[in-house]
Amino acid sequence: MKIKIAILITLLLSLNVVFAQKEYSVDFQKVKLIFSLDAKGTPVYKVLYGSKDIIKTSRLGFKLTENVSLNSDFKILSVDNSRFDQTWKPVLGEVGKIRNNYKQLLVHLQQNNSGKLLDIAFRVFADGVGFRYVFPKQQDLKYFIVSEEETQFNLAGDHTAFWIPGDYDSNEYEYTKSKISQIDNSSIVASSTDICVRTVKDASSVQTPLMLKTTEGLYINIHEAAQINYPAMQLHVDKASYGLTASLVPDAIGNKAYLHAPFSTPWRTIIVSDKAADILSSKLILNLNEPSVIKNTSWIKPMKFVGVWWEMQTGKGGWNYANLADSTDAKGQLIPNGKHSANTKNVKRYIDFAAANNIQGVLVEGWNVGWEDWFGTWKEHVFDFVTPYPDFNVKELQLYAAKKGVQMIMHNETASSATEYERYIDTAYKFMKKFGYRSVKTGYVGKVIPRGEFHDGQWMTDHYLRVVKKAAEYKVTVDAHEAVRPTGLNRTYPNWIASEAGRGNEYFAFSHGNPVNHETILPFTRLMGGPMDYTPGIFKLSNYADADPNRKLRSTLCKQLALYVTLYSPLQMAADLPENYMAHKDALKFISDVPVDWDDTKIIDAEPGEYVTIARKGKGTNNWFIGAITGEDSRALNIDMSFLDKNKKYAAVVYSDAPGTDYLTNQEGYVIKKIDVTNKSTLSLNLGKGGGAAVSIIQL
Ligand code: NOJ
Ligand code: CA
């Protein structure tokens, strides 16, 4: 009898363990987060929006090397609830002030058998959830190696996804719109133009930010925030169950992350709304990043810039001084090929153009020796970052630019030899200081050195940040190309002013270009993590005589103008050649006038893959600028101007596609209209297929 009672008690106790797993939930308006342990002691969470499942029950945890599992057998030690509501001012941004308003649930877990500790912090906002793992300081877990992060995001249905392949080395892809169940990146990977490197190991993998739309019209965005000392998170897609699982970019020997407790992982972010526009105005990712570590930020300036770059991209000029590294004369000197764009005379032309058109910077690529054999060689000792070609006079250009009030922008292409760049970095930045450069564009074309590392793994991720921190010591801002996609770190390191990390306008120069709806998807994907150096403003959209006579951008001229507003960046290039701008001086006026730093932003209307219309108020002014772009379809928009101040009058200049203009026909046709508007006005705009409109609204 005693034995039977004992069995019954044991059974009841174990049932109790199974059934009495307590759920902890946090609500913020329509967003609800629920955390619990399942029957195996595995941490699980789910997210709802009103009554709708956004993330169904999904597992959390890790596998470490040496067969250590941190994914089950946990008990909850305690749970802390807290509240946070503060407003902060970004150094540069889309808005002047950002409210950071969330409820936090911090769960302290311990593994029964091993005694190991793991905390999970959830922050619940009005527009989504962020969570991260925290490894507290503890005896039994000091140094450890992550072999898998097992975080799941189990979706509630076969949503429509806007995705690019899960490439360890590149984000430079066209977006595919498909159902989750149809995701297969193999044909895209096989047919893509790359920049000497492409590593996709899993045909069912995608990059984040991943943009999703449900059949019921909910918009969901999955990404990460504050990616520091940890690899980028990609997602493996289970097409049958619509489940997504974190897939971390590995290192050269297949491990994911080398950690030392105490350590906090990046935040995993889920943004949700029933309005697409709310996804674009979300500040959840920035809010999950730490405040600026740079105290005096007065030297961090927004800027528009021009450069000798498009003439190189389109074949009129080039980076190289000589054709080949061994194109030398009897004295061993390089023989000039006559197409070197980065020559003092040509650069002065760009400085003059910048000074005359309210453009603050001039970027010069190809100024330093090494370009004859940099491409795809995977060797070290290509560039030393301080030796100019004989026709580029650094001092003369410094003085000339200073006289004209223009900033020179340094270019440090590393050819992905990150170790070499780190060896030279102080020398390179001292050189910049000496010659008045306050801004650098870095580049990571090709396969990474240390060999075997990937662009988005832990080592390189650390490298990009080391460069940004070093740059801050020299009061230099950084625009990183081919680096990992951003995760809001521009809040913490505001001198990381922009990144490329996506497929820019440049693909029109060396591939079949970007699809007509590309720029309507970018704000919902790549730009969720931070500003993009997309290089807009191409006015000559077809009829290139040089490298490829069939080149044609899938855009109208007005769409190129609108991109200055729809693609946020405090660093924006006016990418075309001065002569192409001078052919349309009246349209160039918009680029001269448009600011790149803002006090306020209204997402007027947006739908991924279809259209984006945004109004922004210039920093420290009462002037507004509107950008509207469309994908494949033409559109007639009526914009309610009630965002303007009451009882004030404004002079609007409207740049719109001329009748009969679209991305295929008469691309450069536009009309410019001047009208007075107030906050009671409705502004009508007509966009051709693949076209756009730009409006400047200046308070009278
Ligand atoms: C690729 C970059 O995206 C581009 O802007 C740059 O001109 C080339 N690399 C050369 O560095
Ligand atoms: Ca690039």
Strand 571-573 to 303-307 pairing: parallel
Q: Where are the alpha helices (DSSP H) in 413-474?
A: 418-434, 458-473
pLDDT at 668: 97
Q: What is the pLDDT of residue 464?
A: 98
Rounded to the nearest 10°, the torsion over CA 298, 300, 302, 306 is 130
Beta bridge partners of 31: 28, 49
> Which residue reads 């453009």 in tokens?
359
Q: What is the mean pLDDT of residues 311-327?
A: 95
- Residues with CB under 6 Å of ligand 1 are 309, 365, 413, 443, 445, 481, 500, 506
550 or 60, greater pLDDT: 60
Residue 373: Cβ within 10 Å count: 14
Instruction: Using most ligand atoms within 8 A of CB, pick from 368, 413, 485, 571 the residue to mutate for ligand 1.
Output: 413
User: Does the predicted model carry a pTM greater than 0.85?
Assistant: yes
Retrieve residue 272's tokens. 């949700």
Positions annotated as catalytic residues are: 506
Give the pLDDT confidence score for residue 3 in this predicted structure. 47
Rounded to whole angstroms, how far apart are CA atoms 105 and 127? 16
Give the mean pLDDT of 323-351: 97
Q: How far is CA 305 from CA 344, 354, 359, 558, in A?
A: 17, 7, 6, 19
Q: What is the mean pLDDT of residues 473-487?
A: 98
- Give 140's DSSP letter: S
> Mean pLDDT of all residues in the chain?
96
Q: Which atom of ligand 1 is nearest to 411's Cα?
A: 11
Alpha-carbon distance of 132 to 135, in angstroms, equals 10
Closest ligand 1 atom to residue 319 Cα is 10
What is d(CA 239, CA 303) in angstroms, rounded to the nearest whole number? 44
Q: Residue 546: what pLDDT?
A: 63
The mean pLDDT value for 636-664 works out to: 98
Contacts of 294 (CB under 8 A, 6+ apart): 300, 472, 493, 494, 495
Ligand 1 centroid to residue 481 C-alpha, Å: 7
CA 502 to ligand 2 center in whole angstroms: 7
In the structure encoding, which two tokens stand for residue 28, read together? 């913020």
Range scoring the smallest mean pLDDT among 173-182, 210-219, 446-455, 501-510 = 501-510
Mean pLDDT in residue range 483-496: 98
Whole-number Å distance between alpha carbons of 37 and 73: 9
Distance 650 CA to ligand 2 centre (A): 39
226 forms beta bridges with none
Give the ligand at the shortest distance from the Cα of 479. Answer: 1
The pLDDT confidence band at residue 4, using thresholds 50, 70 and 90, is low
State the distance from the centre of ligand 1 to the C-alpha of 317, rounded, in angstroms.
Answer: 14
Is residue 555's pLDDT more than 90? Answer: yes
- pLDDT of 109 > 50? The answer is yes
The pair of structure tokens assigned to 677 is 């508007």
Q: Quote the CA–CA distance of 182 and 161 in Å, as a whole number.
A: 9
Q: Name which of 152, 91, 223, 187 is nearest 496 in CA terms.
A: 91
- Which atom of ligand 1 is found nearest the CA of 309? 7
What's the rounded mean pLDDT across residues 635-651? 97
Distance CA 501, CA 478 (A): 13
Give percent of the chain with pLDDT exceeding 70. 97
pLDDT score of 547: 60
Pairing state of beta strands 98-111 and 74-88? antiparallel
User: Which pLDDT belongs to residue 6?
Assistant: 46
Q: CB 672: neighbour CB atoms within 10 A?
A: 15
pLDDT average, residue stretch 106-120? 98
